[in-house]
Amino acid sequence: MPSASSRIRASATRLLSLGPSRVDHIPAFRIALGLAIPLSVLLVTGRVEWAMYVGFGAFTGIYSRYEPTRMRFRRQSMAGVLLTVCVTLGASLAQVGESMGGTAESWTTLGVGSLVAGLAAAVVLKLGLKPGGAVFPLFAVAAIASAPPAAPIWAAFLIAGGCAALCVVLGLLGHWAGERHPGAEVRAATETWSRAQLGSEFGRFAVASAIAGALGIASGLPFPYWAQIAAIAPLSAPGRTLQVERGLHRIIGTTLGIITTAFLLSFPAEPWQLVVWVVVLQFLAEMYVMRNYSFALLFVTPLALLMVQLAHPQPIGAMLEARVLETVIGAVVGIAVVIAAAVWDRRAALRRPAAGGTEGEGRG
């Protein structure tokens, strides 16, 4: 069993080093193009306030990298449906929230977002979608629900669905651009998941999201859903050690990403300039997200915040401060959930042999 010092060194190495590259520029370009095309349409038509509907629909392209073309088509189609439903749900909550008032709206968004996090995580696990977890579905619901309604619900549905369909088509075209599955034979997932396992996945994500969101609301910070996202982001990593590491890396990477964001927003910018930055940041994020999570957050953080600024401008200083504080809240909650689950499983494992021994003695 490796010592604590060796585990720390290994974690530091993963934090500072880049994993091996593949043909990362091909999926990165495809994913960025799936965002650039609809954002350009919004600029031309003067509907930049619809940027979040576009952005969340375009997250479809992130799924199923380096997989055979038929598998990518099937899985991206499923991811596109999931994200379109989440955008539509978020738009519906935004409409309902206008008549609720601040506190009731926040708690409603928290409750629905936590259920979505749990359900989406279980669905993604069941379908074998990659990346795993529920960051994008939760982000879609909570961010859109927390902003003023920018379009009718039907329009949000059509915009997100159209962008998702575009990304599925680009995923098919990626085959001829050379995006396949280098270095590994990729087959369809053959795992079968029991109801107990899917229930456990639902519980981990829903509980982490709910606790972090409640702490975010109690803190008085303006975007409690950022705490929810930071709480569930580590839970999709394989193995509890990597989950704890990812929570710590989330804090470090987000803090450094805030510096990048502050620099980009320190200059007056027109909407078209923000769109250019968003597309460039999307490309860079996809270039590095599979090689070094913390480094990719240098681009993921400003990407998310510039999307918010594009659709619903916020005071810059307060937004940047809230992003750091709520990320810390959420990451700490996520790590605590990982540790609590490990302790629970260990105690359950200790109880099972004891119960078996007692039962054997009774039979004797």
Rounded CA separation 347/353 (Å): 11
Does 15 fall in a domain? Answer: no
Does 281 fall in a domain? Answer: yes
Does 358 fall in a domain? Answer: no
Number of domains into which the chain is organized: 1
Rounded CA separation 110/260 (Å): 29
What pLDDT score was predicted for residue 364? 33
Does 104 fall in a domain? Answer: yes
Does 112 fall in a domain? Answer: yes
Rounded CA separation 53/160 (Å): 5
Greatest Cα pair distance in the chain = 81
- The pair of three-digit structure tokens given for residue 43, joined into one six-digit string: 């600029």
Does 214 fall in a domain? Answer: yes
What pLDDT score was predicted for residue 165? 98
Does 361 fall in a domain? Answer: no
Rounded CA separation 275/42 (Å): 10
User: Are 140 and 86 in contact, with CB atoms under 8 Å apart?
Assistant: yes
User: Are 225 and 316 in contact, with CB atoms under 8 Å apart?
Assistant: no
**267-273: long-range contacts (C-beta < 8 A, 24 or more apart)?**
271/43, 271/48, 271/310, 272/43
- The pair of three-digit structure tokens given for residue 86, joined into one six-digit string: 């989440």
Rounded CA separation 164/87 (Å): 11
Rounded CA separation 178/27 (Å): 9
- The pair of three-digit structure tokens given for residue 214, joined into one six-digit string: 């409640």
What pLDDT score was predicted for residue 360? 45
Tens-binned pLDDT, residue by residue, of the chain (364 aa):
555 555 555 555 655 566 666 778 899 999 999 999 999 999 999 999 999 999 999 999 999 988 888 899 999 999 999 999 999 999 999 999 877 766 888 899 999 999 999 999 999 999 999 999 999 999 999 999 999 999 999 999 999 999 999 999 999 998 888 776 654 445 555 567 888 889 989 999 999 999 999 999 999 988 999 999 999 999 988 888 889 999 999 999 999 999 999 999 988 889 999 999 999 999 999 999 988 888 999 999 999 999 988 888 888 998 999 999 999 999 999 999 999 988 887 887 777 665 555 444 444 3
Phi/psi-derived region of residue 21, left when phi > 0, alpha when psi is between -120 and 50, beta in every other case? beta
The pTM of this model reads 0.89
Rounded CA separation 257/301 (Å): 5
Rounded CA separation 92/53 (Å): 13
Range of the domain at 292: 23-184+195-352
What pLDDT score was predicted for residue 6? 57
Question: If DSSP states are collapsed to H, E and C, what string results for 235-253?
Answer: HHCCCHHHHHHHHHHHHHH
State the sign of the Cα–Cα–Cα–Cα dihedral 299, 141, 132, 197.
Answer: positive
Does 99 fall in a domain? Answer: yes
Rounded CA separation 56/53 (Å): 6
Continuous H helices in 98-233 = 102-127, 135-146, 153-173, 195-219, 224-232
Rounded CA separation 256/35 (Å): 24
